């Protein structure tokens, strides 16, 4: 009888140790290996703090000794190859977690009137992008009415990678996507400004 009771108790201890709650003495959800919660309703006043590392390159496992699929970290360093943010490891490289958005994309087509010269023209690149994404002219039958997962203006970096310097003089490009420019030379055919948005 004593052996049966000890076996049952040992089995119960092993079961409890297989699932863990951190933050309270409340048993974990039956589907969770690790459950972070402070009360019965799952409410909390604290968050999960990921390991903070300095990644040097998405192809390098450093500071890990090797790539490990499923590893999550928060990169606190910032260089030309890797920005700050949450990254996961694919087993071959680091990928940034970008809130379901692609990491970068070209700005939708926008018309710049170059028929007359002038100074101090402005375009709100973010508003032009948002208006097109919220009001597409056509969509497939099962698509939502507007394009989902739209970041805010300050969630983006704005780049102009190339433009016709004979026609345009770029004065400024703000952190919220306001472009100020001059038209140096009127053209009747076409000109070029290549604009790219990158998620922070």
- 3-class secondary structure per residue, the chain: CHHHHHHHHHHHHHHHHHCEEECCCCCCCCCCCEEECCCCCCCCCCCCCCCEECCCCCCCCCCCCCCCCCCEEEECCCCCCCCCEEEEECCCCEEECCCCCCCEEECCCCCCCCCCCEEEEEEEHHHHHHHHHHCCCCCCCCCCCCCCCCCCHHHEEEEEEEECCCCEEEEEECCCCEEEEEECCCCCCCCCEEEEEEEC
Dihedral pair phi/psi, residue 173, rounded to 5° = -140, 110
- The CA distance from 140 to 83, in Å, is 35
- The CA distance from 193 to 158, in Å, is 13
What residue spans define the domains of the chain? 12-39, 49-97, 104-139+151-199
**Per-residue pLDDT at 5:** 47
| Higher-scoring residue by pLDDT: 122, 152 | 122
User: With 60 as the cut, is the pLDDT of residue 190 above it?
Assistant: yes
Dihedral pair phi/psi, residue 142, rounded to 5° = -100, 5
User: With 60 as the cut, is the pLDDT of residue 3 above it?
Assistant: no
Q: What percent of the chain has pLDDT over 90?
A: 39
Q: Quick one: CA torsion of 175, 180, 184, 190, rounded to 10 degrees?
A: 80
pLDDT digits (tens, 9 = 90+) for 175-185: 999 999 999 99
pLDDT digits (tens, 9 = 90+) for 112-130: 989 999 999 999 999 999 9
């Amino acid at each position: 009888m004593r052996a049966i009771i000890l076996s049952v108790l040992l089995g119960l201890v092993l079961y409890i140790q297989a699932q863990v709650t951190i933050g309270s003495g409340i048993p974990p959800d039956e589907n969770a290996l690790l459950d972070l919660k402070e009360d019965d309703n799952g409410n909390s006043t604290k968050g999960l703090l990921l390991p903070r590392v300095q990644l040097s390159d998405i192809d390098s496992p450093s500071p890990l000794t090797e790539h490990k699929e499923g590893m999550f970290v928060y990169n606190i360093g910032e260089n030309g190859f890797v920005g700050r943010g949450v990254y996961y490891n694919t087993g071959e490289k680091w990928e940034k977690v970008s809130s379901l958005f692609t990491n970068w994309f070209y700005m939708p087509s926008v018309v710049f009137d170059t028929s007359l010269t002038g100074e101090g023209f402005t375009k709100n690149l973010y508003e032009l992008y948002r208006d097109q994404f919220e009001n597409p002219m056509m969509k497939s039958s099962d698509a939502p009415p507007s394009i989902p997962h739209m970041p805010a203006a300050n969630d983006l970096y704005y780049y102009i990678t190339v433009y016709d310097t004979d026609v345009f003089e770029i004065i400024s490009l703000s952190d919220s996507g306001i472009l100020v420019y001059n038209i140096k030379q009127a053209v009747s055919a076409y000109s070029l400004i290549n604009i790219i948005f990158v998620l922070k």
